[in-house]
């Protein structure tokens, strides 16, 4: 048998056109969707992912435990805090420690800042896919508020590498509370403007209403996560199901929509933005005093390190912290990130490097939507569905 005959070929039905959307397409992102269209109607869609696969799980086995944090941030660089928090929590479970309450609150604040930034990023892309350039600029412009707040808190705009097994690396900076309040007030005003410009825009509504409908049952069958499943009427949110950080002490709701179409997913995200503002406000007001790192590590600090922590309110990185050796065992952690549930499963063999790290990212779970929801829609509905799912290829490919 010759080499060539092993290539899979497939005969197309008569009158079916095969269109490759991506990976070099202005509306595809780092992925390819193979569409088979009959006229203007999609009869078959195949999401072809993996164009930005970076073997992260394997790379993680070759680095010290905490050095994997900058690596995992690269999955969803715009949601860096949420997507690494799970890893840190899994390590903490292995180590058998809990961060002090103040650190939990700071984690929550950064996680929510990231959630807002992530939602705004996704919606900005969504807007430009629908051809709405103004909302694209507005979403991205207003995202800057939260990116800058995160920078004030962590020193980095996007890749914060802020969490530490047993705590966080910096205390709240002075004046952060007022700045956050200012940012929240500004954003609440802007949310009203979004409504006029985007959510109630007749053209946008006509593009979204009834498009990409995922029923409650279908959503459960496909196993999608995050705002997408909540927009189909299932209240699935790790922050409620398996509370972590400071979420159990905060008072917030998880909005859901029953419609399950692209419009519901959009409104869902906007409602979640509102809830995130609520959480931020509560967290920054209720934050308790105390240390920001677990006492086990504070004990190991030399005088210089303690001085830096006292005066500058930041944890200077001690070499001992890099050489963590969690006891043998395995642990998992779940975190609700902007796009849905992150699942981390780590195995330790007692060495200073993980034996195995398994990551299941929300975008990977959501990518199945393309295969089962696109058929039956028009080609022009592809951007509406793609954008409303808020699919982020680097996150799915890992």
Partner 1 sequence: MAIVERLVDLILWPPLFYYIIFPGLIFVMIFEIFLIWSERKIAGRVQMRYGPLEIAPRLAGAPQLLADLIRYALQEVIIPRTVDKLPFVIAPIAAFVIALMPLIVTPFSPTFLPVTTEGSILIAAALTTIPPLLLILAGWASNNKFSLVGSARESFLIATYEIIILLVIASMSFLYGTLDFLKAVEVQQALLWGILLNPIAAITYFVAVMMGTSRFPFEIAEAESEIVMGAFTEYSGIMFGLAMGISYARMFVYNIIFVLLFLGGWSPLGGIVTGNYILDSIILPGASVAIKAVLISLLMVFTRAVYGRYRIDHALKGGWGFWFIMALVSIGLSAAVVYLMEVF
- Which residues contribute to the site for partner 1 (CB under 8 A)? 17, 19, 25-27, 40, 127-134, 136-138, 141, 197, 201, 203-204, 206-207, 378-383
Is the Cβ of residue 40 or residue 221 nearer to partner 1 in the bound state?
Answer: 40
Distances (CA, A) of 281 to 8, 99, 250, 277: 56, 21, 10, 6
Q: In what order do the strands lie in the sheet with 41-48?
A: 17-21, 32-38, 41-48
Is the Cβ of residue 121 or residue 162 nearer to partner 1 in the bound state?
Answer: 121
Q: Min. distance of Cβ 376 from partner 1 in angstroms? A: 14
* H-run or E-run covering 178: helix 176-194
Is the Cβ of residue 264 or residue 287 nearer to partner 1 in the bound state?
Answer: 264
DSSP string, 24-42: SSTTT-SSEEEEEEETTEE
Q: Min. distance of Cβ 130 from partner 1 in angstroms? A: 4
Q: How many residues does the chain have?
A: 398
Is the Cβ of residue 136 or residue 162 nearer to partner 1 in the bound state?
Answer: 136
Q: Min. distance of Cβ 193 from partner 1 in angstroms? A: 11
Distance between CA atoms of 338 and 153, rounded to whole angstroms? Answer: 19
Is the Cβ of residue 15 or residue 289 nearer to partner 1 in the bound state?
Answer: 15
Residue among 22, 27, 163 nearest 89 (CA): 163
Q: Min. distance of Cβ 363 from partner 1 in angstroms? A: 19
Q: Min. distance of Cβ 40 from partner 1 in angstroms? A: 7
For residue 341, the cross-strand partners are 336
Task: Show contacts of 191-195: CB within 8 Å, 24+ apart.
Answer: 191/270, 191/273, 191/274, 193/138, 194/135, 194/138, 194/270, 195/270
Is the Cβ of residue 304 or residue 380 nearer to partner 1 in the bound state?
Answer: 380
Distance between CA atoms of 143 and 187, rounded to whole angstroms? Answer: 9
Q: Min. distance of Cβ 381 from partner 1 in angstroms? A: 7
Distance between CA atoms of 117 and 183, rounded to whole angstroms? Answer: 12
Is the Cβ of residue 62 or residue 131 nearer to partner 1 in the bound state?
Answer: 131
Q: Min. distance of Cβ 301 from partner 1 in angstroms? A: 45
């Amino acid at each position: 048998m010759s080499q060539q005959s092993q290539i899979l070929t497939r005969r197309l039905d008569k009158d079916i056109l095969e269109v490759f959307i991506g990976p070099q397409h202005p509306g595809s992102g780092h992925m390819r969707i193979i569409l088979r269209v009959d006229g203007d109607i999609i009869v078959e869609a195949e999401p072809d992912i993996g164009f930005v696969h970076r073997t992260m799980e394997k790379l993680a086995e070759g680095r010290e435990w905490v050095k994997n944090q900058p690596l995992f941030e690269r999955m969803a660089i715009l949601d860096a805090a949420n997507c690494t928090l799970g890893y840190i929590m899994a390590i903490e479970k292995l180590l058998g420690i809990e961060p002090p309450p103040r650190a939990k609150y700071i984690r929550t604040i950064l996680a929510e800042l990231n959630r807002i930034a992530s939602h705004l990023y996704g919606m900005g892309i969504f807007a430009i896919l629908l051809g709405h350039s103004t909302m694209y600029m507005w979403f991205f412009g207003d995202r800057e508020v939260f990116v800058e707040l995160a920078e004030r808190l962590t020193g980095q705009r996007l890749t914060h590498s802020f969490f530490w097994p047993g705590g966080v690396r910096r205390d709240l900076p002075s004046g952060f509370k007022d700045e956050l309040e200012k940012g929240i007030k500004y954003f609440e005003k802007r949310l009203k403007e979004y409504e006029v410009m985007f959510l109630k825009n007749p053209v946008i509504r006509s593009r979204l209403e009834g498009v990409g409908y995922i029923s409650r049952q279908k959503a459960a069958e496909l196993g999608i996560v995050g705002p997408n499943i909540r927009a189909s009427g299932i209240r699935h949110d790790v922050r409620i199901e398996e509370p972590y950080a400071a979420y159990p002490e905060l008072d917030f709701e998880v909005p859901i929509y029953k419609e399950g179409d692209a419009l519901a997913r959009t409104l869902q995200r906007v409602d979640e933005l509102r809830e995130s503002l609520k959480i931020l406000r509560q967290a920054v007001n209720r934050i308790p005093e105390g240390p920001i790192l677990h006492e086990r590590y504070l004990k190991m600090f030399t005088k210089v390190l303690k001085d830096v922590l006292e005066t500058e309110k930041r944890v200077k990185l001690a070499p001992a912290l890099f050489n963590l050796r969690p006891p043998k065992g395995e642990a998992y952690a779940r975190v609700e990130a902007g796009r849905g549930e992150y699942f981390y499963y780590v195995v330790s063999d007692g060495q200073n490097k993980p034996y195995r790290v398994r990551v299941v990212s929300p975008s990977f779970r959501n990518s199945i939507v393309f295969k089962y929801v696109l058929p039956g829609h028009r080609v022009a509905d592809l951007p509406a569905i793609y954008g409303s799912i808020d699919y982020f290829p680097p996150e799915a490919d890992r």
